[in-house]
Amino acid sequence: MSAAHAASYYADSAAPAAPRPPLGGPVSAEVCVVGGGIAGCSAALHLAERGYSTVLLEQHRIGWGASGRSGGEVIHGVACGQDTLERLVGATASRAAWDLATEAVSLTRSLIGRYRIECDWVDGYMLTALKPRHDRELRAEIDELRTRYDYHSVRYMPREEVRAVLASTRYLSAMFDANGGHLHPLAYTRGLAAAAERAGARVFEDTRAVRIAPGCVRTEGGEVRAGRIVLCGNAYLGALAPALEEKIIPVATHLITTEPLGQERARALIANNAAVSDMNWALDYFRRTADHRLLFGGAISYTGHGQLAARAANRARMLRVFPQLAAARIEYTWGGLLDLTANRAPHFGRLAPEVYFLQGFSGHGIALAGMAGKLVAEALAGQAERFDVFARIPHRSFPGGALARRPLLALAMLYYRLRDLL
């Protein structure tokens, strides 16, 4: 019997998916993918389409981790921003990474259309300014994106237009990106897995990888003999690959949804139905769902705990944006772990010549994780130039070791939370 899916609004609202059996003995494949999120499912799909015999192992259910629990916002670029990326790798490589991250959004749309994935796709993303400093930064970013990166789907929204679209007085201005959007992330991830199976990949759920050896991934009930391995466990990979674990830190993030508000009331909150997030470090993000709820996220915990307080914290944050929802019942609360790198740039690379990994999406994983799966398939086929654009980004381990790095990170994040107040 396959493991249950993590409880969430997404688990209850997605179309039912029959559980897949666990691996129950030895199997052979050219490639073994570990992790059934967007990155792993995309890797399995693109590898199978290239003719590679592929096995995907998921410890729980497809989309059980961050891929099936996130806010579902499809955002351009990478989490660290282009300025940071340019400092890390230079102007040429940072532009190449930008082009690939932009292609990632197009790939998401293409995969949804090509495989007829029913995942409630909606166009439009808004990044909102809360204070004059944000407004200045927003104007500069729009100018840079349009002039330096030829990205013309973004435009400035002044206060009057923002307030005509959002039923909130909290925001001064916004950047609207017509290329962004939002979707049901669990339904999307499941759709990728189903497409991978139709292309010939074998998918096993309720199957925990316990050891990686040359040419082999051992599980609790069997093993996959494969010449090549792709690790896509991210924050849930844990001690399977200690060298990767020290490069990321799992951060607990939490979301809520209201009861169904009705079509008219939900539309009044976000008239253009865009996904929305603000410019604070400890940001709020929210959107409408297909069944006319408000989905709202923002409460985070750098200690890895805090689920019990998340409902009240997110409700309080939601009411700062939409006080008119004071009487609305909160029907779902859930959380999960996302993987942050120290510089918030994505972390792709090789642990060994035939062992690849994809992690460190730092909150920008819906589109970029799908692209990462395509890039690793290209690399395994001998076309590694695009994969190596990201593999060359330098990353350092989090300081403090296993015991001290969370408290140190919490102290560092306190600085940014205080900065949000300025």
Q: Is residue 119 part of a domain?
A: no
Average pLDDT along the chain: 92
Please list the pLDDT of the chain residue by residue as tens digits (422 residues). 456 788 899 999 999 999 999 999 999 999 999 999 999 999 999 999 999 999 999 999 999 999 999 999 999 999 999 999 999 999 999 999 999 999 999 999 999 999 999 999 999 999 999 999 999 999 999 999 999 999 999 999 999 999 999 999 999 999 999 999 999 999 999 999 999 999 999 999 999 999 999 999 999 999 999 999 999 999 888 889 999 988 988 888 899 999 999 999 999 999 999 999 999 978 999 999 999 999 999 867 655 445 557 889 999 999 999 999 999 999 999 998 888 898 999 999 999 999 999 999 998 899 999 999 999 999 999 999 999 999 999 999 877 655 555 565 555 555 445 555 55
Whole-structure pTM value = 0.94
Total structural domains in the chain? 1
Q: What CATH number did the domain enclosing 370 receive?
A: 3.50.50.60
Q: Which own/partner contact pairs does 325-331 have at CB distance under 8 Å and 24+ positions apart?
A: 325/258, 325/261, 325/269, 325/294, 328/258, 328/259, 328/261, 328/294, 329/258, 329/259, 330/256, 330/257, 330/258, 330/259, 331/9, 331/257, 331/258, 331/259, 331/293
Q: Is residue 145 part of a domain?
A: no
3-state secondary structure of 13: helix
d(CA 201, CA 46): 10
Q: Is residue 50 part of a domain?
A: yes
| pLDDT for the residue 1 | 43
Closest C-alpha to 311, from 326, 297, 328? 297
d(CA 31, CA 225): 9
Q: Is residue 206 part of a domain?
A: yes
d(CA 212, CA 224): 10
Q: Is residue 265 part of a domain?
A: no
| pLDDT for the residue 415 | 45
Q: Is residue 320 part of a domain?
A: no
d(CA 209, CA 221): 9
Q: Is residue 259 part of a domain?
A: no
Q: Is residue 170 part of a domain?
A: no
Q: Which residues constitute the domain of residue 366?
A: 9-69+186-247+343-399
